[in-house]
Structure 1
Amino acid sequence: MNGNSSFLPVCKEDMAGRGWDRLDFIIISGDAYVDHPSFGSAVIGRVLEAEGYRVGIIPQPDWQNTGSVKVLGKPRLAWLIAPGVIDSMVNHYTANRKPRRDDGYSPGDRAGKRPDRAAIVYTSLVKSAYKTEPSVPVILGGVEASLRRFAHYDYWSDKVRRSILTDSKADMIVYGMGEPAIIRIAASLDASGVLPEDVPGTVIKSKSPPPDAHRMLPSYARVKSDKKAYADHFAIQQANSTALNSLPLAEPQDNGWYVIQNPPAAPMKSGELDHVYELPYTREAHPMYAEQGGVPALEEVQFSLVSSRGCFGGCTFCAIGFLQGRTVTGRSHESIIREAENLVRRKDFKGYIHDLGGPTANFRHASCKVQESRGVCRDRQCLHPEPCTQLIVDHRDYTALLRKVRKIPGIKKLFIRSGLRFDYILADQNGKDFLREVCTHHVSGRLKVAPEHISEPVLHAMGKPAGHSYAEFRRLFMETNDQLGKKQYLIPYFISAHPGSGLKEAVELAEHLRDTGYIPDQVQDFYPTPGTAASCMYHTGLDPRTMKPVYVSKGGRERRLQRALLQYNKRENYHLVLEALKKAGREDLIGNGPAHLVAPPGKPVGGGTTSAQRRRRGKRSPRR
């Protein structure tokens, strides 16, 4: 392995090239080493480097060999465990618990480069490697640790697991966006060797009961056996997930310890985000992967720009609120323009910026003025069930930013791919103008949107806007493109078997797909991952927002039937769709007319499509 001073050290040769004999921090990453601001390990490494610390990284060590974590020696201040951009179990298994064959965050797209439950395994690995020497703290961070910081339902084992801090025997979790926390922790360790206990955005463990100021969560022992207690537990977490109005939380463990969460870190200010995203990233995968086929996950983001952090969308199946927070902070125009100009100067830049956005591209600022003084509302959402009367709906800043970036010499096209919240566009009195701007300059044939479903009970369980919102946006999109003389289409994204959806609701969605003439090539089965309200619903059968029962499809057969309905025209789905329609009492949809989903049994036409549908296949333009 050749030394490379442009990247953080990955070997002793790199350290020697810098004149270093020991590192202050060593990051162990479940992902391949990609030095790009979309990869958390690179961000934390560069942030600490900018503070003057010596930082190295061990990407994807061999978890069956303690020698693999000795390649950089032992850090002076702490081990930082970052299991990866994606939870290791999600990375390894599909929604049907089947092993994945690929891993875009590993060289050559090859699976198997990280263990299951990577945070636990990596912690054990470093502790075993140096068990005969004085220890230094082990700090967990990233998605896997953040969303498992308390007792949590684990879909893969179908049981409630302890806090990952307890299971891993690590010393601390940095949850959410970790830059401010890690800087304070590093300063304390450097000055006194002591791991601080009061840093916002961290979780610690203690043998002593917490002070009265803490809100006590139901114990692990209780939530493991009581689903109502589990739903209460989640609701308390959700109500205390923003910086300005959250209490410290404590969860009693079954071994006499307490897991204690300090309130979330305050959202970074615009200038602080600018600093983080303008650190000297190479925006490349480490050269050691060149002969292995590179790292596929880099391809989509290499020439993308992050314009904001945070999301006030409130979708129940999404964990962004627990990770980046509900307060949106936008980077300055000047910083983004500088980053775009640096992209243009790269020899491998072809003129196309793949994205300019964030968790939701058209969120660039806090949702309302109240947030600045009191924080995000604890008991209500900004957009669901209807946009709040205090919501600031304004696309002018984002529009101005798009115009500035696309005018930079050398940029041929600027796309928006990180998703637009269409109900937010509809709520803007100037939303038509913004959509026209997007359709004119930032779409190339297709625009991806996420209605997720069209049945009202399911949309409510999802925290998504009512079905009429998507219908209105779809109409407006088609009208806008007709006016522009463009043939551009919406590509809607749907989830099957989400809590709230039974066969009745799945059939309703299939009828919508029939009527709009669009059958998705890919459908996402609902995936219960830690840290989301929808996963709480899946486990408990209760909506933690209201504590009311919600229908949950858990049997593998019904989940297959719901998925098949969303692709009712596929030959291999014919018998599943037939079964689903009969179970739902919708035999009226079996036949050969234009209103039917499948042909009658005995003589299915075209693999399940009706003869009328088969006749018009190929000549029908997408009516999206």
Structure 2
Amino acid sequence: MSPEEVRSRGWKELDIILVTGDAYVDHSSFGTAIIGRVLEDAGFRVGIIAQPRWDSPEDFRKLGKPRLFFSVSAGNTDSMVSNLTPGLKPREKDAYSPGGKTGLRPNRATIIYSNRIKEAFPEVPIVLGGIEASLRRFVHYDYLSDKVRQSILADAPADLVVYGMGELQIVEIARRLQAGESIRDVKDIPGTVWKMEVKAWKELKERGKKTEKEQKEQDVPEQKYGKTTAETAEFLGEYVEIPSFSDVSQDRVAFAEAFRKYFMEQNPVTGKGVVQPHPKTVIVQNRPMRLLTDAEMDHVYELPFTGEAHPSYTESIPALEMVKFSLTTHRGCFGGCAFCAITQHQGRTIASRSIDSVLREAKKLTEKPDFKGIINGVGGPSANMYGMECKTWEKKGACLDKSCLYPRICPALDTSHKKLLELLRRLRELPGVKQVFTGYGVRYDLALEDEEYLEELCAHHISGQLRIAPEHFSKRVTNAMCKPGREVYEKFAEKFTTLNRKCGKRQYVVNYLMSGHPGCTLEDMIEMAEYVRDHGGYTEQVQDFTPTPMTVSTCMYYTGLDPFTGKKIYVARNKKEKVMQRALMHYRSPANYELVYEALEKAGRLDLVGNAHKCLIRRKKG
């Protein structure tokens, strides 16, 4: 991170410099750390510029000019999410900054960092990565500006975007530039996005329209693009063109169509490339990169991470404290929740580490001087999809026409928790390990499929509370979310209570709930409030839906349409209604009385105001 550290390694220059909006933490839960260690493992000299000042190019010059390229990431989260609440107010804390300080990264960090790099080193290639770039790779709705924005690659002065989990892509890019290839010629790596000139795309399409006879007669390389007519036709057959920026920024139906088309191509086995024309460039996404194999996953997570923040920091990094003694077991999620972007970033199929690899990492945790015997998390995007697979994944990837878990669990999916149970048991047996907790991230509909797992979870792996995410109790809303309905939740809650009683423990479920999701009306929120009133579970764990790029829910929020059926869906866009929806979940709070009353009045439900048992709020005297 400093010129002194570069010199201490005996290096005169760096090959690659990673720029990130997060503090630098050398832990495998942090994307920059993984990419840095993977590149180092491949033989490259890597530097990191963390949370640079962005008002001038000076901070971007401090490690000198990299020999190959800069790689830029906003950090572990989109910078808008890091900086702003769902109400677009500045957050009071940034978990990825020293001491939780705010203001250490700009909004649209990826674009701003790229501009400063281009000022400092105009000729050095720039590769974008991380979740901000990955999920803004096509035209997208931007909640901060309430506008449709171009692909981030059209807005930033960069050469490539690495989308998804980028280990394989970034090493291939580095090796090809190391071999002397120009960044302008690196256009065929899966899991990357590049730019084509508008004129070139139009000419390619014209060449692709030629008849078979014309192709044979003119089957010589075209001088400018190096493709024969037949090769051009083959190239066009490997890509799907979706509605352009001009189309989708003016037509919400076209926006939904573009979303549906690129969503259907995010399968690493069957997916094609995607082309989206913009006014001044054409964005070309290559087909998705394959998943890491189990052996590759093991290798990545066993690289020599220190598990610590860089020693230059004098204050702790809150995000590290949350994950320092946790273990990542797998990537991907086949849950398919409409509001979640994991499908578009990590994929719907599961890539798992071996049990032995996880145990080796756990053993290293036990050797840390500040380890107190508690592993506080075991899992991935979900806690209990480890080792699960479907017999169709190897040949065709995840199905495009149906979900694995909604509206019901697919019978082709192997929902056995056997491998996870073996891992948890072996972790508990490790010398120095007192407790192995899984207090969050459990997909409860899956857990119901394996009572042995659920019983063992209750007996050994919960510290008083299990946090789960039913999100809502209105069928209309859970359908829009692609989540199981409340009957599944009730079945789980009953089984959870029974099993805790059996093992002699008093443990509780804490629900995560959501307001303001597309499809959710005031009536739906009142239904949820009544359900909570009647069944308990009043919680402060309520979040207002935040539209983030590339999720199905964000597409619905902007267009008012289900992108897969074309059917209209209700969206609460009015700020006052969104506030009222959230207030209904905190109906007991005196601060929310006026909002709750107004919401009940607007919905024609003043029968819920008064002193009767069923009432949500009391009627004020006078």
TM range (shorter): over 0.9
CA contact (8 A) 2:437 2:461 kept: yes
C-alpha distance after superposition, 1:462-506 (max 9, x if no partner) = 010122100110111111111122110000100011111001100
Q: 2:576 aligns with which of 557, 565, 576?
A: 557
C-alpha distance after superposition, 1:206-259 (max 9, x if no partner) = 11216422100100010001000001111111111110010110000112x210
For the residues of structure 2 that align with 1:374 and 1:136, how far apart are their CA atoms?
Answer: 39
Give the match for residue 436 of structure 2.
Answer: 414
Q: How does 1:117-156 map to 2 (within 5 A)?
A: 117-131=108-122, 135-156=123-144
Residue type of the partner of 1:199? I
Q: 1:510 aligns with which of 529, 537, 548?
A: 529
Residue type of the partner of 2:326? S
Residue 246 of structure 2 is aligned to residue 221 of structure 1:
yes
For the residues of structure 2 that align with 1:241 and 1:54, how far apart are their CA atoms?
Answer: 32
For the residues of structure 1 that align with 2:290 and 2:181, how far apart are their CA atoms?
Answer: 25
For the residues of structure 1 that align with 2:440 and 2:605, how far apart are their CA atoms?
Answer: 37
Give the match for residue 355 of structure 1.
Answer: 377
CA contact (8 A) 2:511 2:541 kept: no
Q: 1:261 aligns with which of 278, 285, 288?
A: 285
Give the match for residue 61 of structure 2.
Answer: 70
Q: How does 1:125-204 map to 2 (within 5 A)?
A: 125-131=116-122, 135-195=123-183, 196-204=186-194
Residue type of the partner of 2:344? F
For the residues of structure 2 that align with 1:44 and 1:54, how far apart are their CA atoms?
Answer: 12
Percent identity over the alignment is 47
Q: Secondary structure, in 3 states, of the residue corresponding to 2:313?
A: helix
For the residues of structure 1 that align with 2:389 and 2:367, how far apart are their CA atoms?
Answer: 35
Offset at residue 389 of structure 1 (A)? 2.3
Residue 256 of structure 2 is aligned to residue 234 of structure 1:
no
Give the match for residue 607 of structure 1.
Answer: none
Q: 1:443 aligns with which of 462, 484, 509?
A: 462
Q: 2:270 aligns with which of 245, 262, 279?
A: 245
For the residues of structure 1 that align with 2:598 and 2:620, how far apart are their CA atoms?
Answer: 11
Q: How does 1:199-598 map to 2 (within 5 A)?
A: 199-207=189-197, 208-209=200-201, 211-213=235-237, 214-255=239-280, 257-290=281-314, 293-426=315-448, 428=449, 431-598=450-617
How many residue pairs get aligned? The number is 585
For the residues of structure 2 that align with 1:438 and 1:389, how far apart are their CA atoms?
Answer: 24
Offset at residue 544 of structure 1 (A)? 1.2
Offset at residue 418 of structure 1 (A)? 4.2
For the residues of structure 2 that align with 1:31 and 1:276, how far apart are their CA atoms?
Answer: 21
CA contact (8 A) 2:388 2:415 kept: no
Give the match for residue 90 of structure 1.
Answer: 81
Residue type of the partner of 2:240? R
- The TM-score normalised by the length of structure 2 is 0.93
CA contact (8 A) 1:32 1:105 kept: yes
Offset at residue 392 of structure 1 (A)? 1.3
C-alpha distance after superposition, 1:133-175 (max 9, x if no partner) = xx12100000000000000000010000000001002100000
C-alpha distance after superposition, 1:83-107 (max 9, x if no partner) = 1101011111110111112211111
Residue type of the partner of 2:253? K
Residue type of the partner of 2:333? C
For the residues of structure 1 that align with 2:366 and 2:107, how far apart are their CA atoms?
Answer: 39
1:53–1:65 distance in 2 versus 1, CA, 3 Å:
same
For the residues of structure 1 that align with 2:60 and 2:397, how far apart are their CA atoms?
Answer: 42
Q: Secondary structure, in 3 states, of the residue corresponding to 2:171?
A: helix
Give 5+ residue unaligned stretches, structure 1.
1-9, 604-624
For the residues of structure 1 that align with 2:440 and 2:534, how far apart are their CA atoms?
Answer: 27
CA RMSD of aligned residues (A): 1.0
Give 5+ residue unaligned stretches, structure 2.
205-234
For the residues of structure 1 that align with 2:73 and 2:470, how far apart are their CA atoms?
Answer: 32
Q: Secondary structure, in 3 states, of the residue corresponding to 1:289?
A: coil
Residue type of the partner of 2:271? S
CA contact (8 A) 2:388 2:416 kept: no
CA contact (8 A) 2:336 2:403 kept: yes
For the residues of structure 2 that align with 1:205 and 1:366, how far apart are their CA atoms?
Answer: 37
C-alpha distance after superposition, 1:537-585 (max 9, x if no partner) = 1000001121111110111111111111101100111111111111111
CA contact (8 A) 1:241 1:264 kept: yes
For the residues of structure 2 that align with 1:491 and 1:418, how far apart are their CA atoms?
Answer: 9
For the residues of structure 1 that align with 2:447 and 2:10, how far apart are their CA atoms?
Answer: 54
Give the match for residue 21 of structure 2.
Answer: 30
For the residues of structure 2 that align with 1:374 and 1:231, how far apart are their CA atoms?
Answer: 25
For the residues of structure 2 that align with 1:43 and 1:591, how far apart are their CA atoms?
Answer: 57
CA contact (8 A) 1:356 1:418 kept: no
For the residues of structure 1 that align with 2:75 and 2:372, how far apart are their CA atoms?
Answer: 29
For the residues of structure 1 that align with 2:536 and 2:356, how far apart are their CA atoms?
Answer: 44
Q: Secondary structure, in 3 states, of the residue corresponding to 2:547?
A: coil
CA contact (8 A) 1:589 1:598 kept: yes
CA contact (8 A) 1:452 1:494 kept: yes
Give the match for residue 615 of structure 1.
Answer: none
- The TM-score normalised by the length of structure 1 is 0.93
Q: Secondary structure, in 3 states, of the residue corresponding to 1:510?
A: helix
C-alpha distance after superposition, 1:245-285 (max 9, x if no partner) = 10110000112x21000011111111101111000011001
